Amino acid sequence: MKVCVYAIAKNEEKFVDRWVSSMMEADHICVLDTGSEDGTVEKLADWGVTVKQECIAPWRFDAARNRSLALVPADADICVCTDLDEYFRPGWRKALERAWTAGTEQLRYTYIWNFDEAGRPGTSFLYEKIHAPGVFEWEHPVHEVLRRTDGKKAWKVSSCPEIVLEHHPDLTKSRAGYLPLLELSVREAPEDDRNAHYLGREYMFWGRWDEAIAQLKAHLQMPTATWEPERCASMRFLSRCYLSKGDRREAMRWALRAIAECPETREPWVQAEEVAYAMEDWEGVRYFGWCAVRIESKSGTYINEDKAWGAYPWDAMAYAYFKLGETKQAEQATLRALAEDPNNERLLRNLAFYRGGGGT
């Protein structure tokens, strides 16, 4: 099979060497440069990458990706879409060939979206930007997704978690452009529940609490918004918005609704733990925290949140134990928190304090 990697780029010079090195297992690599002012184009050309420059105006990600997809050779059997701030772990090509069984038109693989300060994977989920040629196009101005050009709603999707794509973004780049593009997405496709959820989340990221609340509630009211993990996320975000506004009752109400929506995931329990902490309900913190940490497997979707899988659940429980006069349990919970964040000086000070009797 002929495998082709395609991408879009703008001012990615510092990522070129790492990216191309990891993509060399493909038969062909092509990039649409959308206006780089550094040495991105020259470095890609030096590696032998097929590069075309084109300005996409007005800017939208789906248009750029579709233009980059057009660069894929006509005889390609598999298309692999990545970005230059990502790279595959070695051996991905062989794994892809094993997983691409007869009739496959799309492939899911492991995507590590971020890493903690110790270099450990944070949010990870199954991604699906590997696809067959000639049957898909990109849709939506931002948070773009693949859609069938023939209108089919179902097709064969295979999975290969052994393929791992790591994301190491340029944290100096602004995401300010995402919000207007998401607003445009919702205007263009008001029936799309995924975009409605993303827009509410983006308002929350920017601290626009009232707009986030209205948008997230609109998402939950949509007849197509039936995917429980995403509904749960909207409810968690509503809880977060109300907590930020100082309305702890509403914050807890939405956290409890999130738990009811998807109780097998850790994130809503941690949200309830956080609200209980704000309410100084120490027994609640202990209860919700334990319910959270008993869930040991991530969902495998993009809904995972780092906070739920790091030190926080144990850290909050440790303080709750202390407030409840259970110093030994506070010490044990702090040790569990330190297992997730071993160099945290505050946690180390807390541990010494609890081992000293906690002032009791």
Q: What distance in Å separates the CA atoms of residue 246 and residue 172, rounded to the nearest whole number?
A: 31
Q: What is the pLDDT of residue 358?
A: 66
Q: What is the pLDDT of residue 203?
A: 98
Q: What is the pLDDT of residue 298?
A: 86
Q: What is the pLDDT of residue 319?
A: 97
Contact 150, 132 (CB under 8 A): no
Please name every residue paired with 145 in a beta bridge, in sequence order, or none if there are none.
139
Please identify every stretch of the chain with a pLDDT value under 70, giving residue numbers as ranges: 358-360
> At the top level of CATH, which class does the domain 178-309 belong to?
mainly alpha
Reported as a single tens digit per residue, the pLDDT across 76-97 is: 999 999 999 999 999 999 999 9
Q: What is the pLDDT of residue 176?
A: 80
Torsion of CA 258, 263, 267, 273, to 10 degrees: 80
For CATH 1.25.40.10, the residue range(s) in the chain are 178-309
Q: What is the pLDDT of residue 174?
A: 78
- Structure token pair of residue 251: 């914050």
Q: What is the pLDDT of residue 104?
A: 97
Three-state SS for 279? coil
Three-state SS for 283? helix
Q: What is the pLDDT of residue 299?
A: 82
For CATH 3.90.550.10, the residue range(s) in the chain are 3-98+128-154
CATH of domain 3-98+128-154: 3.90.550.10
Contact 160, 80 (CB under 8 A): no
Q: What is the pLDDT of residue 300?
A: 76
